[in-house]
Amino acid sequence: MSFINLILHNSNPIFEPMNKGTLYLLPNFLGPGNKDDIAPNHLRLIYTISEFIVESEKSARAFLKTIEHPVPQSEFVFHLLNEHSKDRIDLTPYFKNCLKGAALGLLSDAGTPCVADPGSSAVSFAHKNQIKVVPLSGPSSIYMALMASGFNGQHFAFHGYLPVEHAERKNKIKSIEHMLLSTGQTQLFMETPYRNEKLFDLLLTLLKPKTKLCVAVNISNATETILCKTVEKWNSKDIATHKEPALFLIGN
């Protein structure tokens, strides 16, 4: 058997024909938006996609309607992937058409996919199956809050949601502040909107008076508010956080 035939008969995936599709990572609006908020070349690309992995079908349909996607709503194909299902779903059926050459979109509920978002398991699947992954630029409340804080943007850590149990939460806050004080690394975290006020009050109680605290609420919305000052100068009434999307940062 010739060398060429040996290559063609090799079962290693590296020798498979390169006829697979692409997984596109599609940012969603953080708040009300319109198609003019999306770069024209990105918009044209999204218009070519009719199959999506989404956190919720309702949110995905609203986004696609807002950007005036030319495909009729009845012809879209949606695959659900959210925080509750990401660790127990077999993603193979989701990628059936993509593995045959079709484009597939991963659409976040808000902001950038895979950053504080369950979409990373889909991206991992794509890489394992030699599917090209293309991220599109878009809004990220995490990075926008960091930009607006004035804190260290060269060295930072995002902790996601803090523990719910009170003792664990207190310990985590103290640990985060220790990391800040020992390394200068900006610390970012968030909370479920209806628990924002309790977290905010706890931060003002536990953090050192000279520690700088930034609270960013409703980023990119008309009611956006971003305030940064030392804990000793904060009053919990300075900013409305209850049931609003918010990010908390401590830095120096």
CATH number of the domain residue 55 falls in: 3.40.1010.10
**pLDDT of residue 30 exceeding 60:** yes
**pLDDT of residue 6 exceeding 70:** no
Report the pLDDT averaged over residues 223-250.
94
**pLDDT of residue 7 exceeding 80:** no
**pLDDT of residue 26 exceeding 50:** yes
**pLDDT of residue 37 exceeding 80:** yes
Structural tokens at position 219: 């980023």
- Tell whether 9 and 23 lie within a shared domain: yes
**pLDDT score for 116:** 81
**pLDDT of residue 1 exceeding 60:** no
**pLDDT of residue 23 exceeding 90:** yes
Q: Which domain holds residue 70?
A: 3-135
Pairing of strands 212-217, 186-190: unpaired
Q: What is the C-alpha to C-alpha distance for residues 82 and 50, in angstroms, rounded to an integer? A: 19
State which of 135, 166, 198 marks the end of a domain: 135
Is the pTM of the predicted complex or chain greater than 0.95? no
CATH label of the domain that carries residue 163: 3.30.950.10
- Tell whether 199 and 241 lie within a shared domain: yes
Question: Can you spell out the DSSP letters for 6-36?
Answer: HHHH---GGGS-S---EEEEE-B-SSS--GG
User: 104 to each of 77, 132, 135, 148, 167, how far by Cα in Å?
Assistant: 10, 10, 12, 33, 43
Q: What is the C-alpha to C-alpha distance for residues 213 and 227, in angstroms, rounded to an integer? A: 8
Please, what sign has the CA dihedral across residues 161, 110, 122, 88? positive
**133 φ/ψ angles, rounded to the nearest 5 degrees:** -115, 125
The angle formed by the CA atoms of residues 167, 236 and 162, to the nearest 5 degrees, is 30
Q: What is the C-alpha to C-alpha distance for residues 234 and 241, in angstroms, rounded to an integer? A: 14
**pLDDT of residue 3 exceeding 80:** no
- Tell whether 190 and 212 lie within a shared domain: yes
- Tell whether 9 and 131 lie within a shared domain: yes
- Tell whether 128 and 238 lie within a shared domain: no
- Tell whether 107 and 189 lie within a shared domain: no
- Residue among 117, 121, 147, 123 nearest 135 (CA): 123
- Tell whether 11 and 129 lie within a shared domain: yes
**pLDDT of residue 232 exceeding 70:** yes
What is the residue whose two structure tokens read 């260290």? 152
Report the pLDDT averaged over residues 87-96.
89
| pLDDT, tens digit, 9 for 90 and up, residues 132-157 | 999 999 999 999 999 999 999 999 99
Which band of pLDDT confidence, cut at 50, 70 and 90, is reported for residue 10? very low
- Tell whether 86 and 150 lie within a shared domain: no
Structural tokens at position 25: 């990572």
**pLDDT of residue 195 exceeding 80:** yes
**pLDDT of residue 84 exceeding 70:** no
- Tell whether 201 and 123 lie within a shared domain: no
Question: Can you spell out the DSSP letters for 93-159?
Answer: GGGTTGGGT--EEEE-SSBSTTSSSTTHHHHHHHHHTT-EEEEPP---HHHHHHHHH-S-SSSEEEE
State which of 83, 105, 135 marks the end of a domain: 135
- Tell whether 31 and 128 lie within a shared domain: yes
**pLDDT of residue 16 exceeding 60:** no
**172 φ/ψ angles, rounded to the nearest 5 degrees:** -65, -40
- Tell whether 175 and 239 lie within a shared domain: yes
Report the pLDDT averaged over residues 71-81.
96
- Tell whether 113 and 224 lie within a shared domain: no
- Residue among 248, 218, 219 nearest 234 (CA): 248
Q: How many domains does the chain have?
A: 2
State which of 98, 117, 135 marks the end of a domain: 135
**pLDDT of residue 5 exceeding 60:** no
